Amino acid sequence: MNYAASPVLAPHLPLWRSRLLLVLIAGGFLVLAGRAVYLQGLNNDFLQQKGQSRYSRVLEISANRGKITDRRGEALAISTPVKSVWAIPEEVQFSSQQRAKLAALLEMPPREIDKRLNDATGFVYLKRQISPDVAERVSELRIAGLFQNREYRRYYPGGEVMAQVLGFTGADDAGQDGIELAFQSTLAGKSGSRRVIKDRLGQIVEDTESIREAQNGRDLALSLDAKLQNLAFSQLKLALEKHKARAGAIVVLDARTGEVLALANLPTYNPNNRSRLSGAQLRNRVITDTFEPGSTLKPFTVALAVDLGRITPETMIATASGSLAIGKATIHDAHHFGDMTAAQVIQRSSNVGAARIALSLPTEAMWGMFDKVGFGSAPRLGFPGEASGKLRAFKNWRPIEQATMSYGHGISVSLLQLAHAYTIFASDGELIPLSLLRVETPLPGRQVISPATAHKLRDMLELAVQPGGTAPAARVMGYRVAGKTGTAHKEENGGYAKHKYVSSFVGLAPASAPRLVIAVMLDEPSAGQYYGGAVAAPVFSAVMGGALRMLGVPPDAPLKPLELPSDGSEIKETV
């Protein structure tokens, strides 16, 4: 066929145009080939970033929180592995049946799951800290856009017994209170991370690299003894129930090392189930609450007078009238025994005797004694909320204030401060540094009074627990005990509540070579008895006796049953 002769088939376009089109098509292919080489060979970061944004994920690797143990290695707080379920709302795809099963496994209403997914963008937790077996059943649902992280949940084997001292952790396993908060940096460790490739269902198909290794937290050995803690807690609980007290606290110190061997509070809570908590349950009353200590402060006034050479234990103090007028105020004793020795002032807990001794001392020296034993200053244990108490500057003291402070009014202390101060009588006059951690080598104490004065005061305090003293109920069979009762009206609305009391006892044993100092406090006993000798002293006796036997401390007194006075002849201290 002759194409050129046909008017239909004859070409009307110039030849150069077809050649130009061929060149353009070839050039386009070259540009595409060059772009492909550039993106895939020379500069492939862009495509990799886009791919990684769809399939690459950086997962955080939780560090295992350090374990907390008692001084013997018994676990007090441990972390157990759990899982958290989270989602990318835009990617979640599930059927109504899957939704119902997921809600049942997570123990959540289906509408709550919908609400969380609808209210969030990019990331949302559906449920945290679920058990591994539940997490496995959630995975079996194969819901797109649903993921899981490994976490840890804190478990406290001691439950309510150790609650206020250990504290607890939050959902992120970070300390919120107590030891957990105080030593957060030690226990927490540092989280790590790794990069993984996930498929469209969120399942890991490749572990590509470790970005940062996780560093587990360090274990912490406390000074507490779990057996002594249980003993102290159980005896305090019995006393609270018997005397219908509002609250109570007890602390046990090692008189040689300053270690806190037991520390218990009531009311308490279960740190493994904190669904319902009140402020009263959370308070570590031993460390954070203050109160007027009452007659437990008399030994410090007498010790200062003895140390300064103003009196001896045999010095007669004018208390015959049973009262002492200071300005418009009058101080009274509950009993009239006539004049008594300085030792009997402690034994019978005479407010008049303590006031007369105090008024014979320089105010600065008396303030110095209180300051040196730690009153007015926080104990510096590193525990959250440590109370410093109240100790006014001596320049502002009036005579009546100096007198009342001698028997524990107008000054406030925590129970820990009070127990700590008594270490000067348990040692040779040294204030022993305290520790909540196990101590390998005891730190040196600070000399407050002379060794001779400390021994004399220990003898006086021993009289207070004998028949004729205010606390025969504090005695322990087989051991010599020294201690002092305290009973004080509670402060309320700027004054003192007429029928509300704080009852306390602080003591040490064995008196011949003290090993332990124990302080007990009951807040508002309301079953009829409220004197420290009747309410707090029996708790001291039960805990001290059990503790000394647990520690294998040899007896220093005859092993024969002790009888309490049955004729009402025990002395009731002046409130």
Run of H or E including 281: helix 279-282
Q: Which of 62, 79, 84, 295 is catalytic?
A: 295
Both tokens of 375, joined, read 């009153």
Strand partners, 47: none
Only one residue has tokens 């009036």, namely 398
Contacts of 18 (CB under 8 A, 6+ apart): none
The two structure tokens encoding residue 537: 């002293």
Kindly tell me the sign of the dihedral angle through the C-alpha atoms of 245, 379, 403, 446. positive
Contacts of 21 (CB under 8 A, 6+ apart): none
Cα-based distances in Å from 468 to 210, 463, 505: 74, 8, 17
Distance CA 64, CA 461 (A): 49
For the record, the structure tokens of 85 come out as 């379920």
User: How far is it, in rounded angstroms, from Cα 467 to Cα 409?
Assistant: 26
8 A C-beta contact, residue 345 and residue 461: no
Task: Give the three-class secondary structure for 177.
Answer: strand
Residue 541 among the catalytic residues: no
Answer whether 525's CB lies under 8 Å from 245's CB: yes
The residue type found at 263 is: L
Helix axes 96-106, 110-119, angle to 10 degrees: 100
> Are the CB atoms for 417 and 375 separated by under 8 Å?
yes
Residues 298, 404: contact at Cβ < 8 Å?
A: no
> CA 249 to CA 520: how far, in whole Å?
6
- Active site members: 295
